[in-house]
Structure formats: structure tokens, C-alpha cells
Amino acid sequence: MTASPAARHPYLSPEGPRVLAHRGLVTPDAVANGLVDNSFAAVAAAHAAGAVYVESDCHLTADGTVVLFHDDDLRRVAEDPRAIADVRVHELAELMSDRGGLITLAQALDAFPDVRFNLDVKATAAAEPVGRLIAPHAERVLVTSFSDDRRRTALEAARRAGATRRPATSPGSATIARLLAARVLGQRRRVRELLADLDALQVPERHGVIPVVTPGFVRDAHAAGVEVHVWTVNESADMHRLLDLGVDGLVTDRADLALALVNER
């Protein structure tokens, strides 16, 4: 049983299935033209394809600007060894100028007012600034992080900055590990406690040889009114199989293909 519409966070209304554009949308043709993920162009391409949800990552520059950037350095994107934390925003903008354009979190929230952002806080220093920036947009933002400490810091910063409600949230890897252990041990009360105050579980289908997304995992989440979003799903057959299993969202590099598949279903 899924959450009732009244209990559902606005970020997750109406009911899915949801397609979350992983780092925006970068098609093979766009890659060939030099476009990179988490760029302004990638977010714009996802929006143009019809994606309501864009998943992105948050880092902090040397001069304190929150930028949408996955890696903690520039090696993959620009063959530059410097860390994002050591580069000023104008330097980063210059580097990204022919790679799709830099996009800051403030720009993303302003330029795409009808997009719902799924934000992974990748750097400890970024957590509080992220919280302050999203406070006026809490109804259309979900905050997550591999670190529960970073996630909670961002949520608390949003509260202190005057958010009228808590942003939606998905837990870090430590909470997911405790949830999986509680399920294996049959600790039903502990499972309910771990799912409290969450809106989604954003997880891989498997962690190494360990299955994460199973029918029982989905049932437990839905019983608590929590959605299950699976990353990163790029093959049509896997999309169909997971939707048949009952998952609520697909985090995918090919939002264009996933949106067409969901619409056909």
C-alpha cells in the first residue's frame, strides 16, 4: 500500500512512475559534440525532453558557490587535476563554457521553476549552503547524500533558513545498510523506525552480490508510505522489469527513452 495523496510530499505528487534524469540528459550525439553531464545544457535537454525530475550533485567552489557537478575534481570533465573546492566559480564557468555551460544551484532553481530537483550533496562544505538555497523551494526539492550527516545538515539548514516545510529526502548508505540488516533479521519495528520521516529510498538494484530491490523491500517501503527509486537504469528491459516489480522511480542517463517507455505503459 502506497502513501495516501494527503500524506505524500508535494515533490512526489501526483503518483508515479517517475523518471529522474540522472545528471540531466546527455545523449550519445551530445557527448560527441562535447556536452558533459550536470551542465546547463544537460539540464535544459532533460527539461526539453519532458523530464519533471532532474537528479544532480552539489559541490562548493573555492569562493563559496554551490555548483551542480558530480566529481570532486575536474579530471574526467576537463583533464584538469584541480579539485572543485580549489577553483573559483568564474574559472569553472570558463572551463565549462564549451562543455554545455556551468550551472549553479541558484541558477538551476531560478531558470527551471517547473523542474523538481533531486540533489545529492557530495561535499560536506556544500551541505549548509545547499540547505539555505533550497529553503524557498522545499516543495520541489529532494535532498539526499551517501552521508546521512550531510543530508541532515542540509535539511536543518533549510529549516533555519525559513523553509515552510521540510524538503523531501532519501537516506544515506548507512541507513540503507541498517534497513537491509533489519529486514534480514525480521526486526519489523526497527524497519518502521528506519523508514520514518523518509519520502523515498533511492538505491541500486544490487550492491555487489547482495540484492537490494526485492518484492519484500518494495512492500516494506510502500507500507510506510515511502517510494523506491532505482539507479542507474539505462536498458529498456530493466526499466520494464523494475516497474513490473512495483518501483516508483527510475534514475536514468536516458530520460528520453525512459519517458517514452513510461508513456507507452
Give the active site residues: 22, 70
Per the CB < 8 A criterion, the answer to whether 255 and 46 are in contact is yes
Q: Would the CA dihedral through 205, 171, 48, 263 be positive or negative?
A: positive
* Residue 139 near residue 11 (C-beta atoms within 8 A): yes
Q: ∠ at Cα 214 (211, 219), nearest 5°? A: 145
- Sorted by sequence, the CB contacts under 8 Å of residue 48 that are 6+ apart come out as none
C-alpha cell at 6: 494527503
Cell of 89: 566559480
* Alpha-carbon gap, residue 76 to 93, rounded angstroms: 16
Residues 6 or more apart whose Cβ sits within 8 Å of residue 160: 131
User: 185: exposed, middle or buried (C-beta count within 10 Å: 0-12, 13-18, 19+)?
Assistant: exposed
